[in-house]
A and B are shown apart, each in its own frame.
Chain A
Amino acid sequence: MKIHEYQAKELLRAAGVPVLAGKVARTPDEAAAAFTALGTPICAVKAQIHAGGRGKGMVKGSTQRGVELAKSADDAARIAKGLLDQTLVTIQTGPEGQVVHQVFVESGCAIERELYCAILVDRHAGSPVLIASTAGGMDIEEVAHKTPELIITEPFDPDRGLSAWQTRVLSARLGLPAASWRAAEQFFKALTKAFVNLDASLLEINPLVLTKDGTMVALDAKMTFDDNALFRHKDVAALRDESEEEPAETRAAAAGLSYVKLNGTIGCLVNGAGLAMSTMDLVKYHGGEPANFLDVGGGADVKQVTEAFRIILSDKNVKAILVNIFGGIMRCTTIATALIEASKTVGFTVPLVVRLEGTEVEEGKKILANSGTTIITADGLTDAAKKVVAASKGLKA
């Protein structure tokens, strides 16, 4: 789960990580009032969307950038007006962009140097790692690719956290003045603690700023949380902003389905994540374009399968649907019955190709054949893919 910058900063402030004072605004007037209340000569007005790359991003149909500096309350209102309810396009939103519903007005600071820092769980190390670089404000992927020697990595134990000596290694390699090492130690320790205590999966500070007076400040904050751990963070779960998410994906999650919308024409309904991904690959291999990833899980019932079909059909690009089930624990008879039930209640407007394999497959196929529905059955993966691709193009396989 992702949250907004202003929400991440509230969590970080509570965890003892230095951030600047700021206020959220949902109207230009609120932005002006925020500027006045903050009382600094300069403020940043920042669009709050879940995608990154806002600084370089541009509002559709104007020259308004996603982050701009304001020198007066009027200025802040003007920038907010240019952003609110407008569509911001950044490198991460794709060309369709994302609508801005709120801006964050944040006081300025005197920047000495911009650094980069992030925490994530490293699969190879089997532990969380803190990554830092002197290349602050830049695209870290590019830095990692072109100048990997500029990236410093320190793994740490979730319970012990980062050791003091590790923060000194970071400070020294980041070239921080010795007078700021103590500030850096406190910053990094608080940040790693926040990461572990909040069950984050990514915590990225870009840029991390060394100020003119030698302190460390998180100028930006991007936080993603481990969905599997949200059960023990009700306060974090409450920060979810559904308006930032694909509605069909939110709906699927509520039904216990794993769904990702794509841009193709062939809807896919599969059991198991690996097989679901492979089914998309199979469709593509045979000249089609998958419209979605959808994993109904190991024990889907009629209700879930019905909801899955509704979600797939809510995508108007879908021209045909492929159901690919390898019955292990889930019996083919169960899924066949669910398919027929669902097809009756949902009312199919597009061809449906079904491939069943595994437990009770023969009985399952019989149920489909005797159902009187227009379901197209397939034998094997290749046959199924060919049939669904042909059907999506209005042809017979």
Chain B
Amino acid sequence: MSILVNRDTRVICQGITGKVGEFHTRGCLDYGTRMVGGVTPGKGGEKVADLPVFDTVAEAVAATGANATMIFVPPAFAADAILEAVGAEIPLVIAITEGIPVIDMARVMPVVRASKSRLIGPNCPGVITPGQCKIGIMPGYIHTPGHVGVMSRSGTLTYEAVWQLTQLGHGQSTCVGLGGDPLVGSSFIDILALFEADPDTHSILMMGEIGGSAEEEAAEFVKHHVTKPVAAFIAGQTAPPGKRMGHAGAIISGGKGTAEAKLAALKDAGIEVAASPADMGAAMVRAIEHKHKNKKK
């Protein structure tokens, strides 16, 4: 078991004929992901990496039975690509594209919320269930199958955390990149609920960052609804207010979204907080051991 994706997930790539789309489609194939096709309007009938290319998502779904899509469409057209995937009722839509205008996402959000599709991203590394299915741009080999659920708003920081876990002998059930934009399809809370319900996930590691209040909301949710051990790290503890730190969503504005407030909320919810980014894996281990001890008592 795992969440969102597994070895039976059938994946298409929207934007498969682009350089980046093709590169990562091959990367996913190499990892063992069941890639079944791709979509690029006007290029239906072509082949990329031996996979059939379709003009529309609906055609691709009808022909391949795809139940997940990975989107590499350029930012100006990516919101439309998400809407097309939702329109074709693909259950899992993973948008990797960085740089989508936020108003475009504001148009997408109500459509996604009213649909049965789940959107992950945009501006995210994707989702991986180690040893089974990789949808996205993460380096597959740093992951090991196991029982820690990992979720994060940042790509390379997730790799860092996963690497530390793997080094400490803790594999991962599923790793989810939520994305660094102000508006993203899935929040920490959405994924926490999935991890809590997944018998294969025994503990949860989350990496947040400054900006917004998703971490505070996650802390509140953990307090009331999560029984599994949780550890966390917040990036941007030294970031100045009013400055966008790379990610469109990573900004402290109006005194909101500070690392201090997030850390306080996490600690208040009993979450083990990593003091430095070098401590993320170790914090997860501490949280697991702590929970274990309490159970024995």
Residue of chain B at shortest CB distance from A197: B103
Interchain Cβ contacts under 8 Å between A and B, 20 examples:
A121-B102, A121-B103, A123-B183, A123-B213, A141-B255, A157-B110, A199-B102, A201-B102, A226-B248, A231-B76, A262-B240, A273-B209, A277-B209, A283-B238, A284-B237, A298-B137, A327-B139, A329-B139, A381-B160, A382-B278
A residues near B (Cβ < 8 Å) are 92, 121, 123-124, 126-128, 140-141, 144-145, 157-159, 196, 199, 201, 226-229, 231-232, 258, 260, 262, 270-286, 290, 293, 295, 298, 326-329, 357-359, 380-382, 385
Task: Give Cα distance in the complex from A228 to B97, angstroms.
Answer: 12
Q: Which residues of A contact B107 (CB under 8 A)?
A: 158-159
User: Are B103 and A358 in contact (CB-based, < 8 A)?
Assistant: no
Does B180 reach chain A (CB closer than 8 Å)? yes
Residue of chain A at shortest CB distance from B247: A273
User: Are B213 and A328 in contact (CB-based, < 8 A)?
Assistant: no
Task: Give Cα distance in the complex from A284 to B239, angstroms.
Answer: 11
Contact (A295, B159) CB under 8 Å given A126-B109, A226-B101, A329-B137: no
Q: Which of B103, B139, B210, B278 contacts A226 (CB 8 A)?
A: B103
Does B163 reach chain A (CB closer than 8 Å)? yes
User: Are B156 and A274 in contact (CB-based, < 8 A)?
Assistant: yes
Which parts of B243-260 form the interface with A (CB within 8 Å)?
A: 243-250, 254-255
Q: Which of B2-10, B32-40, B147-155 is near enough to bind chain A? A: B147-155
Q: Which residues of A contact B278 (CB under 8 A)?
A: 282, 380-382, 385
Task: Give Cα distance in the complex from A273 to B277, angstroms.
Answer: 13
Which parts of B213-241 form the interface with A (CB within 8 Å)?
A: 213-214, 217, 233, 235-240
Which parts of B98-119 form the interface with A (CB within 8 Å)?
A: 99-104, 106-107, 109-110, 113
B residues near A (Cβ < 8 Å) are 75-76, 99-104, 106-107, 109-110, 113, 125, 137-139, 141-142, 152-160, 163, 180, 182-183, 207, 209-210, 212-214, 217, 233, 235-240, 242-250, 254-255, 275-278
User: Are A281 and B101 in contact (CB-based, < 8 A)?
Assistant: no
Residue of chain A at shortest CB distance from B241: A92
User: Are A273 and B139 in contact (CB-based, < 8 A)?
Assistant: no
Residue of chain B at shortest CB distance from A325: B156
Q: Which residues of B contact A293 (CB under 8 A)?
A: 239, 243, 245-246
Q: Which of B101, B109, B233, B276 contacts A382 (CB 8 A)?
A: B276
User: Are B156 and A271 in contact (CB-based, < 8 A)?
Assistant: yes
Q: What is the minimal beta-carbon distance from A257 to any residue of chain B, in angstroms? A: 10
Task: Give Cα distance in the complex from A295 to B98, angstroms.
Answer: 14
Task: Give Cα distance in the complex from A196 to B102, angstroms.
Answer: 10
Q: Which residues of A contact B163 (CB under 8 A)?
A: 326, 357-358
Q: What is the minimal beta-carbon distance from B120 to any residue of chain A, in angstroms? A: 15
Task: Give Cα distance in the complex from A285 to B273, angstroms.
Answer: 14
Q: What is the minimal beta-carbon distance from B164 to any residue of chain A, in angstroms? A: 9
Task: Give Cα distance in the complex from A273 to B137, angstroms.
Answer: 15
User: Are B139 and A359 in contact (CB-based, < 8 A)?
Assistant: yes
Q: Which residues of A contact B236 (CB under 8 A)?
A: 277-278, 280-281
User: Are A275 and B103 in contact (CB-based, < 8 A)?
Assistant: no
Q: Which of B106, B183, B239, B275 contacts A285 (CB 8 A)?
A: B275
User: Are A328 and B156 in contact (CB-based, < 8 A)?
Assistant: yes
Q: Which of A128, A145, A158, A295 contacts B246 (CB 8 A)?
A: A295
